[in-house]
């Protein structure tokens, strides 16, 4: 009899462990929504960076003209959703409610309104436990480092490998995924997992 109840307890523990809630963080641009289709992605990535600094530094647009140009490039028609990935998020939200999903995007303050509008348009507004935008216009990698630590993120996915390399060093408790749908060649530190679809992170969920 004792053996039977022991088995049952073990079974219950196994069942429970399948529901260990995970805090999962998602980047937004080029993970859930794409870049404008008429501009090469490498060019956008290049424009977003500063090239006069030795360490990772992003260009934060301060002039009205540059902010307006960026706003235009963030208009919804230029940011189509990546359905394979958003469908996975809807599914995760629907069927795995014990996990907490967080959007962690380094979009700056002047893109805040347009981003919330886009989230509503793509039915993503209620999917996340919280939407975390870089409204203090900090350096993106530093903003994300803080957000990941504050929200105790277990898994985080982003398309920016240089940014992930920084996070991998500074947030040792988090598992990082590099979203690389085009199989870009790059040297990836062990510990950062390359994936071609967001759904691949499911293998790492309890
Ligand atoms: Mg991105």
Domain positions in the chain are 22-204
CA of 13 to the centre of ligand 1 (A): 38
Distance CA 141, CA 146 (A): 9
Mean pLDDT of 159-167: 97
Q: How many CA atoms lie within 13 A of 88 on its CB side?
A: 15
Q: What is the pLDDT of residue 18?
A: 65
CA of 14 to the centre of ligand 1 (A): 36
CATH number of the structural domain 22-204: 3.40.50.1000
3-class secondary structure, 100: strand
CA of 6 to the centre of ligand 1 (A): 48
CA of 12 to the centre of ligand 1 (A): 40
CA of 181 to the centre of ligand 1 (A): 12
CA of 160 to the centre of ligand 1 (A): 6
CA of 28 to the centre of ligand 1 (A): 6
The rounded mean pLDDT for the chain is 90
DSSP of 6-38: HHHHHHHHHHHHTT---EEEE--BTTTBPPPTT
Query: Is the pLDDT score of 37 beyond 60?
Result: yes
Query: Is the pLDDT score of 14 beyond 80?
Result: no
pLDDT digits (tens, 9 = 90+) for 92-115: 999 988 999 999 999 999 999 999
CA of 26 to the centre of ligand 1 (A): 9
CA of 19 to the centre of ligand 1 (A): 29
pLDDT digits (tens, 9 = 90+) for 61-84: 889 998 988 888 888 888 899 999
Query: Is the pLDDT score of 12 beyond 70?
Result: no
Q: What is the pLDDT of residue 110?
A: 94
């Amino acid at each position: 009899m004792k053996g039977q109840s022991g088995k049952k307890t073990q079974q219950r523990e196994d069942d429970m462990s399948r529901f260990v809630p995970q805090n999962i963080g998602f980047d937004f641009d080029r993970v859930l929504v794409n870049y404008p289709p008429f501009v090469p992605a490498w060019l956008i990535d290049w424009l977003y960076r500063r090239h006069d600094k030795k360490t990772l530094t992003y260009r934060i647009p301060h002039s009205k003209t540059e902010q307006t140009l960026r706003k235009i490039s963030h208009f919804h028609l230029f940011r189509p959703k990546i359905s394979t990935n958003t469908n996975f998020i809807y599914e995760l939200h629907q069927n795995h409610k014990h996990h907490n999903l967080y959007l962690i995007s380094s979009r700056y303050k002047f893109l805040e309104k347009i981003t919330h509008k886009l989230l509503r348009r793509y039915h993503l507004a209620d999917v996340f436990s919280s939407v975390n935008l870089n409204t203090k216009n900090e350096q993106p990698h530093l903003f994300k480092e803080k957000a990941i630590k504050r929200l105790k993120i277990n898994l985080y996915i982003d398309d920016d490998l240089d940014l992930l390399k920084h996070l991998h060093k500074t947030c040792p408790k988090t598992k990082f995924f590099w979203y690389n749908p085009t199989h870009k060649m790059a040297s990836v530190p062990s510990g950062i997992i390359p994936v071609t679809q967001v759904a691949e992170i499911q293998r790492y969920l309890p």
